[in-house]
């Protein structure tokens, strides 16, 4: 259907414009085309939570022989039964595809990021690629949920081994694993949670990584310690079961309070900056609850981790996990991760950059290829996000402010989306049936997607130009670029900066595509390509006009990171945060999205939740909240020597595959073990000391 509209940008705008141009055509949205057929390879074996794990004491426990011989027998370490909690987490053999494992060997990761330091809860990144996922254990766990039956879907217990709701649904009592220890032997308990909550999440001067803010658990939420192993949450919303997902990676993963707290400004003379940076990458043996502890760091080369002697998880035979003694994170590039995993010099990759697909597929097709490669569903995707704040977030200059105002204009966003030729963009990444047109919002092929609720504005430059005119933009100086309306930003050319993570080829390719596609529309896009660390910092600070972003789990699983679906709190959204006055200047349709998301969080009725997400998708895509770009599958590449890799593990559904494969129960059969351990027979040393000990 075509609608004919008069450009209503004010009479002045019409002067000197031909009647034909004023009678521009804008196109109505349609439903998106069905994605080309592409079958995911691995079939998942669905189970219930209780099939995966339980917490219980076992009659006996075991550890690698060298730990007993070199450490326990020499009096350097208590016996394994005393290092484990009263009731350790026990992984059920029935859910381990290759069964109970054996000790030994190393998983060699390659990553493209670089560690800022070890203060994860103070806001420092460790360089991604599974490092922080492995170091941090969180109250609940979400990665392995890809294998949970739909009717039993609920986060896995983890540091919280069980929980119950009060009758009125406002209080959630959580029972923590009892007697578990940090990797240096210090007790873990409610004090670690309270330090994280009070002095990090709720301290406005600290910005924990992954966006944990009070709003992540609903404004007004409180957390209290009852005793060392019991805490109580009080939520405004009754039965807000959805928040259990927010307690998984990475938003409720407490740090070692016994080490961090003495550096926090509230308890020391440190500034906040000093607190954040108190544990640089060189600081070794940071206490963790995860299965491996950093023991060696060579800048731009490698991070080595050794097994945590106090790890609190076992298999059904009582073998303390992990099975793998060592973890490597080679510091290289993300593209090199694919190359090395396929070649066998690395062990693991999430093949997520389509530019590498064809080569990786070719090389892993041969029967003697060292790695197996399994494609999953199309759950990797990118969007272009406008900065929606018009009240000061990121302190824009005059031009920046004028762009924010445009970003908030429906016609402007429609113009942008209609100027994007998604089919071409997808094919420019990789030829063939991999990429699909992505209108934005919830991904097709996922549980909450509803095609009929999805508005798709197909590529149509003519209509895009008409929308731009509707937004009041016109090329007044005839140089091919539209100008800001007179009186705004000096009536200059409309220039928009696009924030790009230069660590990934895909981000760069898509950004280049956007620059090219905006030009005929009359918008000049200027790339701000920086490394991942800087991108994260600029995005956090609101210093961008537009950014191109690989979407996260909220648009695939919907139940994980749900609060990111709309600006539910002043600091929770990636592209719309409060201005200096602490206020969010939500557009009416954003308020609708917020209301829907809050209702979704409060509801446990699956029919209602499905319906709410249909409404969400409709409002999101009708209004082009984010400009969807492409959607495509990813593949898990893993060296063939590893056992216990669950079937059909997606690379990012409820979390990244590094979490989903449950690395602590992955092993290498004895006859396949390589000689990759750099610090064989050693264990992590004391916090801050130089390295491992033997």
Residues paired with 119 in a beta bridge: none
Looking at 527-605, list the stretches that DSSP marks H as alpha helix, in order from N- to C-terminal side. 532-540, 588-602
Nearer to ligand GLA (CB atom), residue 129 or residue 377? 129
Nearer to ligand GLA (CB atom), residue 61 or residue 334? 334
Q: Is 129 in the site for ligand GLA (CB under 6 A)?
A: yes
Among 85, 130, 294, 381, binds ligand GLA (CB under 6 A): 130
Q: How far is the CB of 291 from ligand GLA (least distance, A)?
A: 16
User: Which of positions 89-128 make contact with ligand GLA (CB under 6 A)?
Assistant: 128
Phi, psi for 596 (deg, rounded to 5): -65, -45
Q: How far is the CB of 249 from ligand GLA (least distance, A)?
A: 9
Q: How far is the CB of 598 from ligand GLA (least distance, A)?
A: 28
Q: Is 352 in the site for ligand GLA (CB under 6 A)?
A: yes
Nearer to ligand GLA (CB atom), residue 334 or residue 667? 334
Q: How far is the CB of 535 from ligand GLA (least distance, A)?
A: 11
Nearer to ligand GLA (CB atom), residue 112 or residue 287? 112
Nearer to ligand GLA (CB atom), residue 52 or residue 341? 341
Which residue from 137, 252, 232, 250 is spatially nearest to 175, judged by alpha carbons? 232
Nearer to ligand GLA (CB atom), residue 131 or residue 420? 131
Q: How far is the CB of 532 from ligand GLA (least distance, A)?
A: 8
Using DSSP bridges, classify how beta strands 546-550 and 380-386 pair: parallel, antiparallel or unpaired: antiparallel
User: Which of positions 427-486 make contact with ligand GLA (CB under 6 A)?
Assistant: none
Among 374, 418, 470, 658, binds ligand GLA (CB under 6 A): 658
Q: How far is the CB of 199 from ligand GLA (least distance, A)?
A: 25
Q: Kindly give, in sequence order, each residue whose CB lies less than 8 Å from that of residue 387, ignoring residues fewer than 6 positions away.
A: 393, 394, 396, 403, 404, 407, 542, 544, 545, 546, 547, 575, 576
Q: How far is the CB of 322 from ligand GLA (least distance, A)?
A: 18
Q: How far is the CB of 350 from ligand GLA (least distance, A)?
A: 4
57-87 burial: b if 16+ Cβ within 10 Å, else e: ebeebbbbebbeebbbeeeebeebeebbbeb
Nearer to ligand GLA (CB atom), residue 133 or residue 176? 133
Q: Is 353 in the site for ligand GLA (CB under 6 A)?
A: no
Q: How far is the CB of 284 from ligand GLA (least distance, A)?
A: 22
Q: How far is the CB of 252 from ligand GLA (least distance, A)?
A: 16
Among 26, 126, 200, 350, binds ligand GLA (CB under 6 A): 350
123-155 burial: b if 16+ Cβ within 10 Å, else e: bbbbbbbbbbbbbbbbbbbbbbbbbbeeeebeb
CA distance 686 to 667: 27
Q: What does the angle CA 623 – CA 440 – CA 605 come to, to the nearest 5 degrees?
A: 85
Q: How far is the CB of 550 from ligand GLA (least distance, A)?
A: 8
Cβ of 173: how many Cβ atoms within 10 Å? 16
Q: How far is the CB of 189 from ligand GLA (least distance, A)?
A: 27
CA distance 305 to 185: 17
Among 656, 661, 664, 683, binds ligand GLA (CB under 6 A): 656
Q: How far is the CB of 281 from ligand GLA (least distance, A)?
A: 17
Nearer to ligand GLA (CB atom), residue 350 or residue 631? 350
Residues paired with 90 in a beta bridge: 54, 314
Q: What is the DSSP letter of 47?
A: B
Nearer to ligand GLA (CB atom), residue 553 or residue 677? 553
Nearer to ligand GLA (CB atom), residue 481 or residue 549? 549
Q: Is 329 in the site for ligand GLA (CB under 6 A)?
A: no
Binding mask 612-651 for ligand GLA (x = CB under 6 A): ----------------------------------------
Q: Is 348 in the site for ligand GLA (CB under 6 A)?
A: no
CA distance 276 to 189: 22
Are the C-beta atoms of residues 27 and 463 closer than 8 Å to each other? yes
Q: Kindly give, in sequence order, each residue whose CB lies less than 8 Å from that of residue 530, ignoring residues fewer than 6 positions away.
A: 499, 500, 501, 502, 538
CA distance 296 to 304: 5
Q: Output the six-digit token pair for 264.
A: 């926090």
Nearer to ligand GLA (CB atom), residue 421 or residue 658? 658
Length of the chain, in residues? 694
Size of the site for ligand GLA (CB under 6 A): 9
CA distance 501 to 686: 36
Q: How far is the CB of 5 from ligand GLA (least distance, A)?
A: 43
Among 243, 310, 334, 600, binds ligand GLA (CB under 6 A): 334
Question: What residue is closest to ligand GLA based on CB?
Answer: 128
Nearer to ligand GLA (CB atom), residue 350 or residue 454? 350
Q: What does the angle CA 512 – CA 518 – CA 524 come to, to the nearest 5 degrees?
A: 90
Are the C-beta atoms of residues 253 and 140 closer than 8 Å to each other? no
CA distance 260 to 275: 8
Using DSSP bridges, classify how beta strands 627-632 and 2-6 pair: parallel, antiparallel or unpaired: unpaired
Nearer to ligand GLA (CB atom), residue 29 or residue 376? 376
Nearer to ligand GLA (CB atom), residue 554 or residue 658? 658
How far, rounded to the nearest angstrom, does the alpha carbon of residue 256 sit from its chain's CA centroid?
23
Which positions touch ligand GLA (CB under 6 A)?
128-130, 133, 334, 350, 352, 656, 658
């Amino acid at each position: 259907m075509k609608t004919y509209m008069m450009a209503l940008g004010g009479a002045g705008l019409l002067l000197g414009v031909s009647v034909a141009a004023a009678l521009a055509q804008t196109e109505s949205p349609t439903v998106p085309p069905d994605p080309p057929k592409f079958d995911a390879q691995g079939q998942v074996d669905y189970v219930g939570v209780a099939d995966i794990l339980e917490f219980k004491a076992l009659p006996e426990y075991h550890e690698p022989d060298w730990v007993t011989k070199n450490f326990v027998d020499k009096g350097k370490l208590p016996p394994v039964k005393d290092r484990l909690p009263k009731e350790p987490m026990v992984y059920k053999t029935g859910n381990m595809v290759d069964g109970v494992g054996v000790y030994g060997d190393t998983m060699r990761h390659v990553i493209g990021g670089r560690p800022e330091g070890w203060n994860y809860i103070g806001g420092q990144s460790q360089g991604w690629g599974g490092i922080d996922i492995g170091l941090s254990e969180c109250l609940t766990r979400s990665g392995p949920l890809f294998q949970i039956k739909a009717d039993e879907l609920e986060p896995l217990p983890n540091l919280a081994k069980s929980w119950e709701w009060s009758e009125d649904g406002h209080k959630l009592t959580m029972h923590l694993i009892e007697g578990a220890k940090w990797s240096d032997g210090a007790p873990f308990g409610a004090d670690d949670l309270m330090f994280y909550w009070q002095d990090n999440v709720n301290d406005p001067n600290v910005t924990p990584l992954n966006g944990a803010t009070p709003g992540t658990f609903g404004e007004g939420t409180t957390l209290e310690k009852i005793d060392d192993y019991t805490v109580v949450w009080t939520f405004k919303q009754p039965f807000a079961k959805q928040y259990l997902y927010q307690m998984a990676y990475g938003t409720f993963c407490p740090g070692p309070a016994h080490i961090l707290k003495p550096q926090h400004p509230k308890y020391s003379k440190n500034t906040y900056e000093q607190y954040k940076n108190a544990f640089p990458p060189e600081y070794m043996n940071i206490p963790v609850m995860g299965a491996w502890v950093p023991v060696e760091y060579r800048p731009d080369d490698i991070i080595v981790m050794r097994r945590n002697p106090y790890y609190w998880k076992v298999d059904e035979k009582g073998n303390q996990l992990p099975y793998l003694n060592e973890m490597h994170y080679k510091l290289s590039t993300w593209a090199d991760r694919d190359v090395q995993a396929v070649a066998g010099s690395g062990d693991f990759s999430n093949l997520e950059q389509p530019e590498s697909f064809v080569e990786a597929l070719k090389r892993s097709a041969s029967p003697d290829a060292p790695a197996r490669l399994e494609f999953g569903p199309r759950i990797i995707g990118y969007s272009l996000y406008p900065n929606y704040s018009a009240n000061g977030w990121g302190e824009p200059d005059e031009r920046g402010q004028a762009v924010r105002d445009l970003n908030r204009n429906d016609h402007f966003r429609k113009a942008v989306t209609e100027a994007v030729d998604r089919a071409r963009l997808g094919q420019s990444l990789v030829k063939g049936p991999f990429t699909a047109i992505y209108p934005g919002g919830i991904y097709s092929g996922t549980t909450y997607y509803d095609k009929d609720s999805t508005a798709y504005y197909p590529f149509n430059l003519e209509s895009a130009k008409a929308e731009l005119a509707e937004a009041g933009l016109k090329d007044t100086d005839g140089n091919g670029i539209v100008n800001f309306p007179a009186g705004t930003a000096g009536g200059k050319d409309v220039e928009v900066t696009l924030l790009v993570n230069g660590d990934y080829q895909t981000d760069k390719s898509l950004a280049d595509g956007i620059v090219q596609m905006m030009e005929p529309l009359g918008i000049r896009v200027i790339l701000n390509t920086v490394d991942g660390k800087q991108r994260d910092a600029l995005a956090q600070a609101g210093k961008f006009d537009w950014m191109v972003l690989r979407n996260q789990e909220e648009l695939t699983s919907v139940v994980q990171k749900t609060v990111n679906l709309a600006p539910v709190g002043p600091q929770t959204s990636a592209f719309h945060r409060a201005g200096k006055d602490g206020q969010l200047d939500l557009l009416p349709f954003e308020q609708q999205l917020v209301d829907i998301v809050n209702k979704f969080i409060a509801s446990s009725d699956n029919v209602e939740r499905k319906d709410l997400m249909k409404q969400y998708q409709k409002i999101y895509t009708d209004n082009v909240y984010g400009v969807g770009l492409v959607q495509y599958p990813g593949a898990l590449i893993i060296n063939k020597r590893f056992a216990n890799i669950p079937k059909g593990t997606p690379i990012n559904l409820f979390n990244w595959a590094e979490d989903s494969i449950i690395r602590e129960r992955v092993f290498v059969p004895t006859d396949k073990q390589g000689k990759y351990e750099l610090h064989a027979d050693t264990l992590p040393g004391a916090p801050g000391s130089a390295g491992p000990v033997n």
